[in-house]
Structure 1
């Protein structure tokens, strides 16, 4: 029987951390000007990054023994065992007609929300060629980041619902959050697993707003500057029967997790013949019944 996510208490205390494994993550370096990314859609080739990063070795804790205690409202992420009926994640029609409704039902059930808006799905692979998507091939995100900011989260809601409906929703006090659902396409994952920071250990001043320029519009994400108090977690050997829920924005400011930094992580003990990591992420906005 499927077990629901644990009940939520908004505690600032972080999870315990063993740091049994050490991995390498890329953090942004602070600079005087606002960092900027020119997207591949803008450049017509590889994206361009107008900032510097630094590689840091960080201790990683296996989150599996802690999985029953995880909450997207406390740590900013959760690990669930939720099999899918989708056999081919490279079938765009199956993603739209089968996997999308699966994700919507999962979030309604697990998070108790009245509305789920699916607006993007992306396949990624750390194979040099990347993973095929309708808009091009994608590799893993290799800089520690959060997909949305205090500015771009509400703007994404306006982009999807229209200004009038989105502002009415936000001004009414209804809670809205952005959740990513991340799943391996093949497994177990041996290379470039996803590392996640416990949001309770991330200082607001270390979240660095970064412009992301597309043709006709400019979005905003956070990159993360390193701080030794940050605690990092990962789920080793993830399989396609498992998903990670990752919160990238929450409209409510009441002590719960709002922004969850994450990135692919390089593990030095990875076997040289390990197969490429392949994954799919679905981005959603969810509206709570409160």
Structure 2
């Protein structure tokens, strides 16, 4: 079962917080991030961070009023209880959680086909950048794909004939993000897609051992409108728009980052989460680009 709105929580009524987000400072060189431990003497990430203090508003009241949506804002809160309780079991993720997620994404978006192409577990206490099976939260403003790497994902995960056909119609990439316990520290900040300008986007190489991906870093922009959902629960998921082929005013992407919530207790539990990234395809005639 899923609904667009989450039940109100009396512990989640903070109107807004002031916090520091890590943007990328302007520079001439193309930024590079490593997905594995880089060679000795090479930093995990190139480029200089540009920390900015911003207002991050509580999005729960807007979500409850139906004023937040994936295609308008680039993110959406959905109530959804999973049958999985042990996310350390890879077979449960593949046999139970992924099919649940596919059905949920079809239900919420109306897509006719969903292809989940990866998942990531994160833990703020024991995760690390160098651990592909358990990573740490990302504390810089970013988006997981670009207008170049989004279409490339279609070719990576479909056979050539289907990929060519699907690329002629609307497709998108969505990140389905779920906390594994109530989020008490390092929540996600989400930027309203309507407040992002083209000049804010910085293509950034993401180096794997066997390939190079491309993500977006972001330059600071005082027009950015930031939101978060306080104390997210395991029966709630966030949908994040990573890419959309539509160019008709629909949100094509958003920016997000983990951030230090100044209202978190010093002894707050570690943030644990799982995210899935999925390709969504709509039938011919539902759009084009």
Does TM-score exceed 0.5, indicating one fold?
yes
How many residue pairs are counted as aligned between the two chains?
274
- Consecutive unaligned residues in structure 2, runs of 5 or more: 6-13
* Preserved CA contact (<8 Å) 2:201 2:217: yes
Tell me by how many angstroms 1:36 deviates.
1.3
Aligned residue in 2 for 1:9: none
Root mean square deviation, CA, Å: 2.2
Higher mean C-alpha deviation, range 87-96 or range 134-143: 134-143
Are the equivalent residues in 2 in contact too, given 1:42–1:213 (CA < 8 A)? no
Does the 8 Å contact 2:110/2:282 carry over to 1?
Answer: yes
Matches within 5 A, 1:49-68: 49-67=45-63, 68=66
Alpha carbons of structure 1 residues 36 and 134: separation in structure 2 relative to 1, 3 Å = closer
Q: CA deviation at 1:134?
A: 8.4
| Pairing partner for 2:180 from 185, 207, 222 | 185
Match of 2:115 in 1: 117
Structure 1 residues 169 and 204: CA distance shift in structure 2, 3 A: same
Judge which range, 162-171 or 277-286, deviates more: 162-171
Aligned to 2:83: 85
Which aligned runs of 4 or more in structure 1 are off by greater than 6 angstroms?
44-47, 131-134
| Aligned counterpart, 1:152 | 149
Whether 2:254 is the aligned partner of 1:280: answer no
Separation in structure 2 between the aligned mates of residue 276 and residue 252 of structure 1, nearest angstrom: 37
Does the residue aligned with 1:258 lie in a helix, a strand or coil? coil
C-alpha distance in 2, partners of 1:160/1:38?
22
Residue pair 1:73, 1:256 contacting (<8 A) in 2 also = yes
| Distance of 2:230 and 2:219 partners within structure 1 | 25
Deviation of 1:163 (Å): 3.8
Q: Deviations over 1:204-225 (max 9, x none)?
A: 1001110112223211100111
Question: Which residue of the partner structure matches residue 30 of structure 1?
Answer: 26
Change beyond 3 A, Cα 1:44–1:79:
farther
Q: Structure 1 45/123 Cα, relative in aligned 2: closer, same or farther at 3 Å?
A: farther
Quick check: 1:235 aligned with 2:229?
A: yes
1-structure distance, mates of 2:62, 2:263: 23
Q: 1:55 & 1:81 partners in 2: Cα distance? A: 33
CA distance in 2, matches of 1:34, 1:111: 34
Aligned-pair CA distance for 1:133: 11
1:256-267 to structure 2, matched below 5 A, reads: 256-267=250-261
Quote the Cα distance in structure 2 between the aligned partners of 1:88 and 1:256. 36
Distance 1:256 1:76 in 2: 9
| Alignment counterpart, residue 171 of structure 2, candidates 165, 171, 176 | 176
TM-score of the superposed pair, with normalisation by structure 2: 0.89
C-alpha spacing 1:44/1:219, structure 2 compared with 1 (3 Å):
farther
Residue by residue over 1:123-175, the C-alpha shift from the partner in whole angstroms, topping out at 9 and shown as x without a partner, is 10111x2179983330001110000000000011111114443223213xx11
Partner of 2:8: none
Distance 1:210 1:271, change over 3 A: same
For the pair 1:137 / 2:134, whether they are aligned, the reply is yes
Report the alpha carbon displacement of residue 89 of structure 1 after superposing the two structures with TM. Answer: 1.5
Tell me the alpha carbon deviations over residues 2-27 of structure 1, each in whole angstroms, 9 at most, x when there is no partner.
5458xxxxxxxxxxxx9721122110
